[in-house]
A and B are shown apart, each in its own frame.
Chain A
């Protein structure tokens, strides 16, 4: 959605915005002659004094003229046409041009002018209906929500930047948490160990995500406490074994860790996302979904995430929520990788030689892809799997 126009405004007009930020209507009052004036000026229009002060105003006045725009020169208003405006003669003197709330009857009628911040952070005047004066002032917030155009005009420009990341204490998860912090997000980290960061915008929860009941409880609690708009499920374990040695306990543990955790986190964050009509879900799967020896349970449960991704993309797309998966190839500097592949081993050299780009991936390579899919601007990408694998998902023949 476009932002309301932000033409350069005069420095003197900031007084209106400063008061609007605190929910007050203030206009310039001349200390020499008492004149109240609008638009803002550098001197009193009546006596030329420069002794002007911003003073709170009741905002009562008469709507003397109105129009309904069916054309605008700015994209934000064009997207919200028709748009209602009025000219209001304030009891304190000046005539102001104001947005008209839907509850205001046709001119002429009594109205009350209030000041609010528009999405661009600038103070704007809004006329609300005023009956015979016996009604109590309904709060501005309640009135705004009753008028869709004004709600959008005055809503904060951005969705809350709150990302929940699992497995954020190390490797890909830690790199992802750092990327979210750098992008201005508040980060909620769920992992066996805390995400080490001096940033005040980090909330770490120590948890074993293969405990489905504990995870479900934590997810519900976090959704109550934080306006989560972004979920990145990255936590994983491998349990490397040949098929002969795989147990059903292995399957249950990784099903809980990879699949049940995703379901619980998304289910708890979903109501708020749907209400905001905005959400970003990124599930970190693995290149191993294409097949990798000794990864029976790992590849099966990571592949399940692709099923969740495609299914949820269909169910949630209409709510402004996108769901995508990332499938990383071999990534160095992660606990998972180096537990299996010792540094400086011949095995490591063989793996590197088999990667088309000629190197192992780094956690930041994956974090970059997460940030791409988690961005508010990525709203037309959903249900996709992005391989971040140095080319190892491309099957070919070595000549």
Chain B
């Protein structure tokens, strides 16, 4: 942990949350979704294309291009460019990079975009070439993809901490309820515990509703100075603090904790808020076990206590612990790298009173968490950000 106190994020803000509606499959390429997100950002920000001078892209299906190819593809002339291949942690890391760039004056308006297409075969292709370790030591073993990886973590977690299927089901069902008012969610019917428990097995002990559904879509937002946002008449949120940690606890034989556990004390101290100040939490939720781990490692309960925490709380927007308030990826869908952005765009909307679906009453401060990149046996990238809206 850093001994010297980090600079505050002061003047830079997040604004104009954008969602390009998800579809199960698309014949468009990733560039189409990035372009759609940029059009929506410029329209929402009342900006001309030439006013955008920074871009940060995350996408799994952009190959052989990176953010570099996007500039020429879309005719963008930029002074600041970043490509963040960190999946579920991409939005948090993008926030950290973009805030500092705006704060330091390297760029004035940065578009942060997570976008992916989903075509027949693209998901399998992504899995088969995901990482060197995946090629050498994971994919040849059943080619189960992230379902298998999270099945291992869930199996171990259940035995180690006495979690029951019903505990994970409670999170999934509450998120589905949150999603029912969110027009972009691909799942539109309520989920019952009976349906959750009786769904078909995917990778024991995971069943269908434990697993995100891959789809196509985009999530994006703008980063600019607070003054610029005010001049443009845009509602925005401040960032009180962030954390980022990669390959934490490499000696653990199996991942039961993430980098949040190393950084959370500094995160809250730097933000100047406590856990009681957090009005809602957005976890990275491709599988419920990882939501439980984030609740623990971010300090809302002790290690191994998430099952009891889940039994003691309710997680809808009106509940005692609002979680993944637009439904999370488990009910909205996982549009590739946009999945890492979903919690951030939803948090900006909730805090600025621009919610599309179910509302968390009088929400002032949110914690958004990111988790990504199962390189071999565990997710390597962890991130989190504490956001404050105008009411804070």
For chain A, the count of residues having a C-beta within 8 Å of the partner chain is: 39
Question: A367 at interface (Cβ–Cβ under 8 A)?
Answer: no
Considering the chains assembled together, what is the distance between the CA atoms of A5 and B202 in angstroms? 20
Contact with A along B126-156 (1 / 0, CB 8 A): 0111001101111111111101100111011
Q: Are A77 and B254 in contact (CB under 8 A)?
A: no
Q: Are A40 and B139 in contact (CB under 8 A)?
A: no
Q: Which of B128, B138, B203, B254 has the most chain A CB atoms closer than 10 A to its own CB?
A: B203
Question: B253 at interface (Cβ–Cβ under 8 A)?
Answer: yes
Q: A5-B128, A10-B132, A70-B203 are in contact. Are A95 and B144 (CB under 8 A)?
A: no
Q: A68-B203, A87-B152 are in contact. Are A99 and B141 (CB under 8 A)?
A: yes
A40, A73, A89, A118: the one within 8 Å of B144 (CB): A73
Considering the chains assembled together, what is the distance between the CA atoms of A65 and B137 in angstroms? 16
Considering the chains assembled together, what is the distance between the CA atoms of A108 and B159 in angstroms? 9
Q: Are A65 and B143 in contact (CB under 8 A)?
A: no
Q: Are A4 and B140 in contact (CB under 8 A)?
A: yes
Cβ–Cβ < 8 Å partners of A10 in chain B: 132, 135-136
Q: A83-B142, A87-B377, A124-B141 are in contact. Are A71 and B136 (CB under 8 A)?
A: no
Q: Are A65 and B144 in contact (CB under 8 A)?
A: no
A77, A87, A107: the one within 8 Å of B142 (CB): A77
B128, B141, B145: the one within 8 Å of A97 (CB): B141
A99 nearest in chain B by CB position: B141
Cβ–Cβ < 8 Å partners of A45 in chain B: 250
Q: Are A70 and B152 in contact (CB under 8 A)?
A: no
Q: Are A72 and B144 in contact (CB under 8 A)?
A: yes
B123, B133, B142, B155: the one within 8 Å of A72 (CB): B142
Q: Are B148 and A67 in contact (CB under 8 A)?
A: yes
Cβ–Cβ < 8 Å partners of A73 in chain B: 123-124, 127-128, 143-145
Question: B376 at interface (Cβ–Cβ under 8 A)?
Answer: yes
Q: Which of B135, B141, B152, B376 has the most chain A CB atoms closer than 10 A to its own CB?
A: B141
Q: Are A8 and B142 in contact (CB under 8 A)?
A: no
Cβ–Cβ < 8 Å partners of B201 in chain A: 68, 70
Q: Are A65 and B203 in contact (CB under 8 A)?
A: no
Cβ–Cβ < 8 Å partners of A133 in chain B: none
Question: B200 at interface (Cβ–Cβ under 8 A)?
Answer: yes
B205 nearest in chain A by CB position: A67
Question: A66 at interface (Cβ–Cβ under 8 A)?
Answer: yes
Q: Are B138 and A97 in contact (CB under 8 A)?
A: yes
Q: Are B377 and A97 in contact (CB under 8 A)?
A: yes
Q: Are A66 and B155 in contact (CB under 8 A)?
A: yes
Q: Are B135 and A65 in contact (CB under 8 A)?
A: no
Q: A85-B141, A85-B142 are in contact. Are A68 and B204 (CB under 8 A)?
A: yes
Considering the chains assembled together, what is the distance between the CA atoms of A300 and B148 in angstroms? 63
> Which secondary structure characterizes the binding site on chain B?
mixed
Considering the chains assembled together, what is the distance between the CA atoms of A85 and B377 in angstroms? 13
Q: Are B155 and A65 in contact (CB under 8 A)?
A: yes
B132, B140, B143, B250: the one within 8 Å of A124 (CB): B140
Considering the chains assembled together, what is the distance between the CA atoms of A38 and B152 in angstroms? 18
Q: Are B254 and A87 in contact (CB under 8 A)?
A: yes
B143 nearest in chain A by CB position: A74
A13, A74, A97, A107: the one within 8 Å of B155 (CB): A107
Cβ–Cβ < 8 Å partners of B147 in chain A: 69, 71
A123 nearest in chain B by CB position: B140
Cβ–Cβ < 8 Å partners of B200 in chain A: 70
B133, B156, B203, B253: the one within 8 Å of A71 (CB): B203
Cβ–Cβ < 8 Å partners of B144 in chain A: 67, 69, 71-73, 77, 83, 85
Considering the chains assembled together, what is the distance between the CA atoms of A85 and B253 in angstroms? 16
Extra 10 A-B pairs, beta carbons < 8 Å, given A5-B128, A70-B203, A87-B156: A39-B133, A45-B250, A64-B254, A67-B151, A68-B203, A68-B204, A87-B152, A97-B152, A107-B155, A124-B141
Query: Which 10 pairs from chain A and chain B are nearest by CB?
Result: A67-B151, A74-B143, A39-B137, A68-B204, A89-B253, A65-B156, A13-B136, A65-B152, A73-B124, A70-B201
